[in-house]
Structure 1
Amino acid sequence: MDFARSAEANKRLHDMVPGGAHTYAKGEDQYPEGMAPVISHGRGAHVWDVDGNSYIEYGSGLRAVSLGHAHPRVVEAVRAQLDLGSNFVRPAALEVEAAAKFLATVPTAEMVKFAKNGSDVTTAAVRLARAATGRTVVALCADQPFFSTDDWFIGTTAMNAGIPAQDVVSFPYGDVAAVSRLFDTHDVACLVLEAATQTDPPEGYLEGLRDLCTRHGVVLVFDEMITGFRWSEAGAQGVYGVTPDLSTFGKALGNGFAVSALAGRRDLMELGGLRDSRERVFLLSTTHGGETHALAAAMAVMDTYAAEGIAQRLHDLGARLAAGVRQAAAAAGVGTHVVVRGRDSNLVFATLDQDGHPSQPYRTLFMRRLIMGGVIGPSFVVSSALTDTDIDRTVSVVADACAVYRQALDAGDPTPWLGGRPTKPVFRKQA
């Protein structure tokens, strides 16, 4: 495979864009050296780079494109709006329809406000909780990787340069007693977490959090950026039957178009409205939050999920992929080193060294072999556009990658198979 044009495009990006990408998770450092394709276009579950190489793609748009690229129903809805104008001095009629459709899709929410990205709506939830409770402390799940680009979260990561100390405490996922102790020692405004991650929550866990938050007057916030439309159309709360006070959605909501949502209890949300007598909260005020083409995309996504059973299809495709990858890894003798984890609709892969520890060098080896076989992605997160043929092809490429993985393990050093420096974690002190 030739990556000459991608290499030149990456160089130009680094010259003009800090980090060479507008999202750190899409950075060149997340891919094997010399094998960071720059994408030309995509269709369904396939993408092509500027060198003409084609790939089966996973983790599309960092989990945002769950229906596949250029989905006809979404494209048609967007195109219909473009001729009508996209942003006006007053709300568009489409905003009424979009809000109504969202609240019908997520029936646990009483009000919704749209924005463009997940960081803004999750920060708005924190702001709302602080205003409603009169407290400042945010309790954040320590075992989950990302909630916002804003200071209250980034200040807790390794990339905290330029950020003052934040009033944030953390708690481990799955331990109700730890949260109870936290509430006994801190005046917490809100508890922020993903309701589920790689596995289902322990029995009674979410119910326990709900009860604790109610008793202590803490606002319970579910980040549904990933679980929304992947666990179900209504997110994890729709699967587990536990209603948060506030929840935030994005990613798959727009199938690649920029739209996110803050949803929740009316009495909380009205703090940011015009019909409440309490002190006003500057909740969300985004110039582009009501862009009609993005809201049309979201409405088309919700319609497609309902009409075609997309959530179930994502689970079915993921189950087929996970079974194939596990079988291929076991056959190559690396079943305890190349590990598929997560809900079937949201699969990730772990690459472990001889001692069973996560390894960036072995991740690099594995990703390199996948790319060479025409499979790209930082995960095995599926889109509904994948076919059985795509899955079978992926499993075949994984089998070849696992054979090389076994050679590296036997040699005790993956370096000869890396082709350059290893991939790197996003959150680190030095570039």
Structure 2
Amino acid sequence: MNSISSRFQSSRALQKRAHEIIPGGCHTYAKGDDQYPVLAPGFIVRGEGAHVWDADGNTYIEYGMGNRAVGLGHAYPEVVEAARRELVNGSNFTRPSTLEVACAEEFLSLIETAEMVKFCKDGSDATSAAMRLARAYTGRDNIAICADHPFFSTDDWFIGTTAVSAGVPKATRDLTLTFRYNDNESARRLFADNPGKIAAVILEAARADDPEPNFLHDLRRLCHENGALFVLDEMITGFRWHNGGAQRYYDIVPDLSCFGKALANGFSVSALAGRREFMRLGGLDHTDKPRVFLLSTTHGAETHALAAAMATIGVYKREPVIEHANRLGQRLLTEGNALIASRGLGEHVRILGRPSCLVYSTLDQELKPSQAFRSLFLQETIRRGVLMPSLVVSYAHTDADIDRTLEAIGGALEIYAEALAGDVSKLLVGRPSQIVYRAYNDGKTAAL
């Protein structure tokens, strides 16, 4: 334990102070201490390419990539330089920057299904604006979300559907309905049970599995037959499935779509895009419907962030970013699962998902999802210099990184097998990680 404490000494001190002055110890729940084993870096001080350095000087190959916000690699020189050039001219003014038009044109040149775009800072603002716009256009209050997709917004309309619904009025919670992915019959029942009440349906085009044939197209048709808008959340799929988003990859035209994360390679830019028929209600050139206060953020069009987005889009246009991510991800998927099978652990650990956006499952002796075994797997890959809450690759990852990662996974699997044969708690240092959506804390995470 002393060597462990020494390895993360600076992180431990920072974590203690962070929990005293920041609720949760950080500003993103997915980055919280409860999401990682005790034997994990607490704070990152810098990143370069596919590598990060923690507060104690330890270095790791990293696969979370800023919760999928970094597609090109940390501190990608062309993007950083574009942001730097704009920063020296000022970042925020009392009238729009010329970059707002230039960036909108660049974005729409990729997302060809959209006619207008409005930029903001995070994905929650974009998806919530989409729901407000849909309600205004249709005059309806209810919205339907895909129950199989884990996150749409920090706002009440979504958080009220989770276990962490404290503070959300019941009247608000009751306005959000759910359906299942790849199950249009569940959506049909929802419309049948709520005739003339649903303003919009929102879902991700895909996660671990592709949509079944015609699922997305049939769902859109069902929405339109019932007077609802069809909305795609492209926070993850955008800039990972295809330069034009999953909507281009699956040849589906949404009414509205929401982008963010990898749009500006880690800089804070998100976008609500869609058909002019709907988007114009947030503008100044219509008189037939009440005006929608769509998105109005002081920092939504900061020049350096928009410059970063334009530079990022430029790289995607010129270089094989997604092809590279798919190739390296396919190596992790194929060789990683082969490694797992060779250890006889195929029923307990599995790498899955699209090659450019992989995750993994960790099951216990009874083949049930296990936070303890997930924590152990993370712990042992971290010991070996790999930080992998997921296996999301970037343009900066190399074949050498994949080789080292597979070696780390192989070592971690040996410990995993040992835990399956015995007691996982004896091999896990400290408490296991926890799920984000839980109604109460158990107090263990804060006691680092």
TM alignment of 1:22-101, pairs within 5 A: 22-101=27-106
Residue equivalent to 2:369: 358
Match of 1:141 among 143, 146, 162: 146
Distance in 1 (CA, whole Å) between partners of 2:313 and 2:144 is: 31
TM alignment of 1:300-315, pairs within 5 A: 300-315=311-326
Q: Are the counterparts in 2 of residues 345 and 381 from structure 1 also a CA contact under 8 Å?
A: yes
Q: Secondary structure at the match of 2:356?
A: helix
Q: Are the counterparts in 2 of residues 45 and 69 from structure 1 also a CA contact under 8 Å?
A: yes
Distance in 2 (CA, whole Å) between partners of 1:317 and 1:135 is: 45
Give the partner amino acid of 2:393. Answer: V
Give the partner amino acid of 1:20. Answer: G
User: Is residue 190 of structure 2 the alignment partner of residue 179 of structure 1?
Assistant: no
Give the partner amino acid of 2:178. Answer: S
Distance in 1 (CA, whole Å) between partners of 2:14 and 2:394 is: 27
Q: Which moved more, 1:318-327 or 1:196-205?
A: 318-327
Q: Which moved more, 1:287-296 or 1:35-44?
A: 35-44
Q: Are the counterparts in 1 of residues 41 and 54 from structure 2 also a CA contact under 8 Å?
A: no
- Superposition deviation, residue 36 in structure 1: 3.6
User: Is residue 353 of structure 2 the alignment partner of residue 342 of structure 1?
Assistant: yes
User: Deviations along 1:16-52, whole A, 9 cap, x unmatched?
Assistant: 1000010000001111124243111110000001111
- Superposition deviation, residue 101 in structure 1: 0.5
Match of 1:217 among 227, 235, 257: 227
Residue equivalent to 1:285: 296
Residue equivalent to 1:6: 11
User: Deviations along 1:211-252, whole A, 9 cap, x unmatched?
Assistant: 111111110110000000010122110100011100000000
Cα RMSD after superposing both structures: 0.9
Q: Are the counterparts in 1 of residues 39 and 379 from structure 2 also a CA contact under 8 Å?
A: no
Residue equivalent to 2:330: 319
Distance in 2 (CA, whole Å) between partners of 1:400 and 1:61 is: 25
**Structure 1, unaligned runs of 5 or more:** none
Distance in 2 (CA, whole Å) between partners of 1:427 and 1:182 is: 25
Q: Are the counterparts in 2 of residues 60 and 377 from structure 1 also a CA contact under 8 Å?
A: no
TM-score by length of 2: 0.95
Q: Secondary structure at the match of 1:56?
A: strand
- Superposition deviation, residue 324 in structure 1: 2.0
Residue equivalent to 1:266: 276
Q: Are the counterparts in 2 of residues 7 and 34 from structure 1 also a CA contact under 8 Å?
A: no
- Superposition deviation, residue 327 in structure 1: 1.6
Q: Are the counterparts in 1 of residues 239 and 245 from structure 2 also a CA contact under 8 Å?
A: yes
Residue equivalent to 1:402: 413
Q: Which moved more, 1:313-322 or 1:242-251?
A: 313-322
Distance in 2 (CA, whole Å) between partners of 1:34 and 1:20 is: 17
- Superposition deviation, residue 262 in structure 1: 0.1
Distance in 1 (CA, whole Å) between partners of 2:421 and 2:47 is: 38
User: Deviations along 1:343-388, whole A, 9 cap, x unmatched?
Assistant: 0111001101112111001001100001000000211111111010
Match of 2:255 among 238, 242, 245: 245
User: Is residue 177 of structure 2 the alignment partner of residue 169 of structure 1?
Assistant: yes
Q: Secondary structure at the match of 1:339?
A: strand
Give the partner amino acid of 2:19. Answer: H
Q: Are the counterparts in 1 of residues 113 and 253 from structure 2 also a CA contact under 8 Å?
A: yes
Give the partner amino acid of 1:366. Answer: F
Distance in 2 (CA, whole Å) between partners of 1:24 and 1:295 is: 26
Q: Are the counterparts in 2 of residues 122 and 147 from structure 1 also a CA contact under 8 Å?
A: yes
Distance in 1 (CA, whole Å) between partners of 2:366 and 2:242 is: 37
User: Is residue 160 of structure 2 the alignment partner of residue 155 of structure 1?
Assistant: yes
Give the partner amino acid of 1:274. Answer: L
**Structure 2, unaligned runs of 5 or more:** 442-448
Q: Are the counterparts in 2 of residues 317 and 384 from structure 1 also a CA contact under 8 Å?
A: no
Distance in 2 (CA, whole Å) between partners of 1:305 and 1:146 is: 26
Please identify runs of 4+ aligned residues in structure 1 that moved more than 3 A. Answer: none
Q: Secondary structure at the match of 1:200?
A: coil
Q: Are the counterparts in 2 of residues 194 and 222 from structure 1 also a CA contact under 8 Å?
A: yes
Give the partner amino acid of 1:334. Answer: L
Give the partner amino acid of 1:322. Answer: L
Distance in 2 (CA, whole Å) between partners of 1:35 and 1:196 is: 30
Q: Secondary structure at the match of 2:318?
A: helix
TM-score by length of 1: 0.99
Give the partner amino acid of 1:46. Answer: H
Match of 1:203 among 185, 192, 213: 213
Q: Which moved more, 1:228-237 or 1:244-253?
A: 228-237
Distance in 1 (CA, whole Å) between partners of 2:259 and 2:164 is: 25
User: Is residue 424 of structure 2 the alignment partner of residue 430 of structure 1?
Assistant: no
Q: Secondary structure at the match of 1:347?
A: strand
Distance in 2 (CA, whole Å) between partners of 1:272 and 1:174 is: 32
Q: Secondary structure at the match of 2:158?
A: helix
Distance in 2 (CA, whole Å) between partners of 1:59 and 1:36 is: 13
Distance in 2 (CA, whole Å) between partners of 1:215 and 1:365 is: 49
